[in-house]
């Protein structure tokens, strides 16, 4: 649910003698925004009409009817642009020291507001058409719900970057550490981009930089800035060459099986159509959406890691990805609620790993979303990414412990496993380990997945027992964190009760807001500038 509230009328005037604070000037988005948003309405209308009347359109085709159809489409384009222009005129936004506000609506007006203390991250998205026109969308993610965000669409790409930095600066000043004046915090926020540039110069030559064509050669400064949408400041954490991305897709059995099954399904549909009604152009047109879905799936997989680069900056982990549609995202160190580390079967030889995270307030878990912090990375990139985002696990060598969890058989891992023979797959694949810093659950046959929940992020634990579980002497445990839950099935009764008691105590004691200065921090993150968590993500 978007953080919006209806505008019921004019605000009440200030009390007599009270001084009215100067109102921040409101701004509109770019004037050609209606052209970018209006085409979606036209495409939707054409798709619905074509899908329902494709056979009649093909059989009754004539030049006069084609001209009439073109005229109708042209009229729909004009109407869509006019409606979008009216909506654009009544949409304004403002950024001040209290947060970000967005006013929309013609007849029914609404206000959306993002208080600065609840701003989680700011991303810049560039869909294909907007990118061709030099525009970008700014999305402000807000703590408090899965779909809590504000979209400012569209502004010039250069203005979008400045707007992103300004909003992040406002959010950083809301989390000024105790004992530091707001002026100092503001100065640090203003100097952050320069600090990132200095860090980049200091580390130049120590990190391998790969261009998007996968050659591994250093691109010139201007070209590199263009290819990576300006994400060139800060310490390099990970970069994905195109060659590795393509090889990872070829080695992903889930991706290959999905493609093969989709192609077989299309082939069967075409064969049945020819067998029953004979070959016709209308049948091919009717199956075009299914073929388009397959191509979109393949392209989405490629785009999720194309040109991916992540860097450590004073505002957290900054990432860039995308081919036709590009985006840049920020995730602050110490704000991650849950990690998911995935390694398919054929990725084990080159030691490639994918990492996704759960952040309170960010519900963008698709392959091209902000929660994918490492689409396919090497062991060194895995260690650097987790080192900048995750607090220590509490072992002598966290990366070695994680590698053991990903590569070893379940019976070779010291932890909790189900004793029930009925769950014969889980007995051989699933294991739960409680470390000093995190609860870890390993699962999967062909694709091994390690779920990591920092113990100080746990909010609640729940035990459940069904008729079958009661007879088998096992319990199911659900571990709740902000944004997502971890479910562990068929744990032995005594182990489940002991684990539940330990995690419940963690939920009561490890996340006290008054003790936030002692909360665990990532060992490689810039803890001095990392924002403190707000009460919403406790």
Please tell me the number of Cα atoms within 13 Å of 107 on its side-chain side.
1
8 Å CB contact between 458 and 486: no
Cα–Cα distance measured from residue 256 to residue 466, given in angstroms and rounded to the nearest whole number: 37
Non-local CB neighbours of 428 within 8 Å, separated by 6+ positions = 409, 410, 411
* Whole-angstrom distance, CA of residue 434 vs CA of residue 505: 14
389: closest CA among 310, 484, 444?
Answer: 310
From first to last of its 538 residues, what are the pLDDT tens digits of the chain? Answer: 445 443 333 343 444 444 444 567 889 999 888 878 777 666 666 666 665 555 566 566 677 777 877 787 788 778 878 888 888 898 899 998 888 999 988 888 888 888 888 888 888 999 888 888 889 999 988 876 556 788 998 899 889 989 998 998 888 776 655 444 444 444 443 344 444 434 333 333 333 344 334 434 444 455 555 555 656 677 899 999 999 999 999 999 888 998 899 889 888 888 887 787 777 666 777 777 778 888 888 898 898 889 999 998 887 888 999 888 888 888 877 778 899 999 999 999 999 999 999 887 676 655 556 689 999 999 999 999 999 888 889 899 999 999 999 999 988 999 999 988 888 888 889 999 999 999 999 999 889 999 999 998 898 899 998 888 888 999 999 999 887 889 999 999 999 999 999 999 988 887 765 566 666 778 776 543 333 444 444 4
Q: Which of 319, 33, 329 is nearest to 152 (CA)?
A: 33
Which residues in the chain are classed under CATH 2.30.29.30? 393-520
Q: How far is CA 91 from CA 4, 36, 122, 154, in A?
A: 14, 15, 20, 11
Q: Which pLDDT value is given to residue 8?
A: 38
Alpha-carbon distance of 64 to 54, in angstroms, equals: 17
In this prediction, residue 250 carries a pLDDT of 93
Locate 489 and state its tokens.
Answer: 């099935």
Which residues pair with residue 115 across a beta bridge? 99
For residues 534 and 118, is the Cβ–Cβ distance under 8 A?
yes
Q: Find out if CATH 2.30.29 is the number for domain 24-174.
A: yes
The reported pLDDT for the residue numbered 169 is 87
Q: What is the pLDDT of residue 88?
A: 87
Which residue, 156, 157, 118, 125, is CA-closest to 139? Answer: 125
Instruction: Tokens for 95, please give them.
Output: 């950024």
Residue 503: alpha-carbon gap to chain centroid: 27
At residue 313, the pLDDT reads 85
3-state secondary structure of 365: coil
> Can you point out the beta strands (E) in 323-404?
326-331, 336-344, 353-359, 372-377
Predicted local confidence at residue 493, as pLDDT: 92
Which architecture characterizes domain 393-520 according to CATH? Roll (2.30)
């Amino acid at each position: 649910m978007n953080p919006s509230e209806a505008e019921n009328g004019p605000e009440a005037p200030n009390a007599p003698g009270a001084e009215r604070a100067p109102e921040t000037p409101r701004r509109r988005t770019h004037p050609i925004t209606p052209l970018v948003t209006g085409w979606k309405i036209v495409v939707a209308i054409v798709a619905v009409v074509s899908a329902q009347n494709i056979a009649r359109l093909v059989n009754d085709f004539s030049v006069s009817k084609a001209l009439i159809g073109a005229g109708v489409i042209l009229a729909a384009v004009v109407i869509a642009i006019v409606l979008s222009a009216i909506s654009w005129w009544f949409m304004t936004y403002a950024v001040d020291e209290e947060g970000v506000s967005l006013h929309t609506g013609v007849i029914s007006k609404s206000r959306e507001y993002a208080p600065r203390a609840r701003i989680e991250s700011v991303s810049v998205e560039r869909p294909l058409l907007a990118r061709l026109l030099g525009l970008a969308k700014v999305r402000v993610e807000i703590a408090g719900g899965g779909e809590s965000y504000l979209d400012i669409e569209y502004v010039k790409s250069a203005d979008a970057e400045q707007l992103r930095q300004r909003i992040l600066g406002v959010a950083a000043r809301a989390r000024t550490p105790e004992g530091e004046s707001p002026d100092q915090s503001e100065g640090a926020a203003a100097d952050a981009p320069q600090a990132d540039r200095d860090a980049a110069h200091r580390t130049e030559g120590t990190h391998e930089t790969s261009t998007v064509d996968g050659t591994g050669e250093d691109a010139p400064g201007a070209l590199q800035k263009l290819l990576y949408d300006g994400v060139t400041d800060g310490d390099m954490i990970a970069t994905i060459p195109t060659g590795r991305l393509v090889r990872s897709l070829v080695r992903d059995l889930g991706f290959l099986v999905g493609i093969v099954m989709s192609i077989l399904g299309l082939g069967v549909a075409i064969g049945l159509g020819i067998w029953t009604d004979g070959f016709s152009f209308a049948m091919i047109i009717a199956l075009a959406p299914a073929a388009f879905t397959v191509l979109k799936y393949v392209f989405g997989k490629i785009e999720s890691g194309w040109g991916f680069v992540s860097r450590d900056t004073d505002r957290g982990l900054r990432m860039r990805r995308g081919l036709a549609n590009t985006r840049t995202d920020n995730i602050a160190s110490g704000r991650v609620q849950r990690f998911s580390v995935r390694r398919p079967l054929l990725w084990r030889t080159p030691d490639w790993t994918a990492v996704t995270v759960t952040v309170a307030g960010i519900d963008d878990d698709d392959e091209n979303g902000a929660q994918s912090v490492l689409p396919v990375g090497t062991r060194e990139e895995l260690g650097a990414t987790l080192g900048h985002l995750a607090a220590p696990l509490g072992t002598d060598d966290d990366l070695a412990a994680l590698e053991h969890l990903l590569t070893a058989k379940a019976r070779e891992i010291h932890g909790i496993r189900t004793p029930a023979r009925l769950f014969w797959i889980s007995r051989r694949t699933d294991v739960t380990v409680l470390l000093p810093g995190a609860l870890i659950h390993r699962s999967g046959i062909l694709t091994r997945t390690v779920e990591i929940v920092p113990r100080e992020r746990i909010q609640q634990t729940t035990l459940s027992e069904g008729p079958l579980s009661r007879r088998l002497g096992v319990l199911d445990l659900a571990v709740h964190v902000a944004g997502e839950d971890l479910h562990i099935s068929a744990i032995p009764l005594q182990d489940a009760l002991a684990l539940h008691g330990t995690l419940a105590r963690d939920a009561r004691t490890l996340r006290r807001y008054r003790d936030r200065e002692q909360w665990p921090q990532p060992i490689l993150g810039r803890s001095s500038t990392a924002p403190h968590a707000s009460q919403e993500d406790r």
